[in-house]
Structure 1
Amino acid sequence: MLLQDVYKAAKVVKSGNHFTTVNEFTDQLPALRPKVLWEASLEVVKIGSFNVDKIVTEEDKGAPLATLVSVMTNTPLAIARWYPYSLGTHNEVRVKIDSEYFRGDLYLNGVLPGDKVAIIDDTISTGGALIALIKAIRDAGGNVSEVICVVEKVGNHGVERVLKETGVLV
């Protein structure tokens, strides 16, 4: 499996209080090969049911993966951003985010009341990004049907934290 090779070749660096890898899949360093993205996306599509109205991710590391999964499942994609659009015509939701990499505000557009949503992300670490995404979807009136991440940083306990704080299993 290519993804295993990507992580074996990854560099490990300190990021705040945590260690992280810098690698082709999550950081596009070196540039992300299409066959690596394709392999990861196929695994996500195999795991998920995708009986949803929308796929949601955050604009940083999960975007390439969620975009391809959106195309493969023919499901509309909404991307949470680190900045507002403030157009006044969309259902923009702002929530606080406290993750391994970022602390501040996260803005979600494109999720409507009653939407069933799948969250797709590359990695779960401390769970902070997923908790913020789940809150934003719920604040918009949507329902989180499933959350799928390709990689878990096991020592950071993100899966347990997300379940404890939101009731959602990753």
Structure 2
Amino acid sequence: MLEEVKKSLENSPIVKKGEYNYFVNPISDGVPAMNPKMLRELSLAVHKYADLDVDKIVAVEAMGIHLAAALSLATDVPFVVIRKRQYGLEGETQVYQKTGYGSSNLYINDLHAGEKILLIDDVVSTGGTLIALIKTLKDLGLDIKSTVAVIEKGKGKEIVEAATGVDVLSIIKLDITDGKVVIEKTIDD
């Protein structure tokens, strides 16, 4: 399992953003083109290991959207996108996030206290996005059944778990060594 995903990640070019080593991949960037087999592999892995007894799948714009859509199609669970744009809708909640390469506000709509959710994002590396979101989602009274970071880079998962007390399910752990993506382990290992 995850053979297409591993091949794609290992062939990812590396771009420096200041001191941050950023890998460019369809999962995390939408380029090059996403092979549907990769989405299928990822969806099957999440389906196999995550708690899917949820009311909604919650994704972070932009690169969580395709992951949530694939999972939604496989499970018939609706998904909601936490957006980078403010709409000003009633009940909208603003969240400030700081990552290894920038900061911005995110906006939560159509999530309600007591709902059971699966939170999915493409990558956890510094933990900035997931920490801010988990804390806010808990404050809103949501029941986070599973938190999934498809790709774990460095110590991101550990940072999020320590800061929030929430377990993070990662599908693939990788790091960048000598300018290349190195797969350290997968969820199946």
**Same fold flag (TM > 0.5):** yes
Partner in structure 1 of residue 70 of structure 2: 68
Distance 2:69 2:150 in 1: 14
- Work out the CA distance in 2 between the residues paired with 1:25 and 1:53: 24
Partner of 1:169: 167
1:108-147 alignment, distance < 5 Å: 108-147=108-147
Q: Map 1:42-61 to 2 at 5 A.
A: 42-61=44-63
Give the Cα separation in 1 of the matches to 2:27 and 2:105. Answer: 25
Structure with greater proportional helix content: 1
Deviation at 1:116, TM superposition (A): 1.2
Q: What does residue 79 of structure 2 align with?
A: 77
- In structure 1, stretches of 5+ residues that fail to align are none
Deviation sequence 1:29-48 (CA, Å, 0-9, x none): 11112111111111111111
The structure where strand makes up a greater share of residues is 2
SS in 1 for 2:58: strand
Q: Distance in 1 between matches of 2:112 and 2:143?
A: 10
d(CA) in 2 for partners of 1:54 and 1:43? 18
Aligned length: 166
Take 2:110 and 2:28, find their aligned partners in 1: how far apart are those partners? Answer: 24
Contact 1:121 1:149 in 2 (8 A): yes
1:38 to 2:40 alignment = yes
What TM-score, normalized by structure 1, do the two folds share?
Answer: 0.91
What percentage of residue pairs aligned between the two structures are identical?
Answer: 39
CA positional deviation for 1:16: 3.6
- Determine the C-alpha separation between the residues in 2 that align with 1:80 and 1:66: 11
Change in Cα spacing, 1:87 to 1:148, as seen in structure 2 (3 Å) is closer
Instruction: Give RMSD over aligned pairs.
Output: 1.4
* Residue 152 (str. 1) matches residue 147 (str. 2): no
Structure 2 CA distance for aligned equivalents of residues 82 and 69 of structure 1: 21
Q: Please, what TM-score do these two structures have when normalized by structure 2?
A: 0.82
Cα deviation, residue 21, structure 1:
0.6
- Amino acid across the alignment from 2:156: G
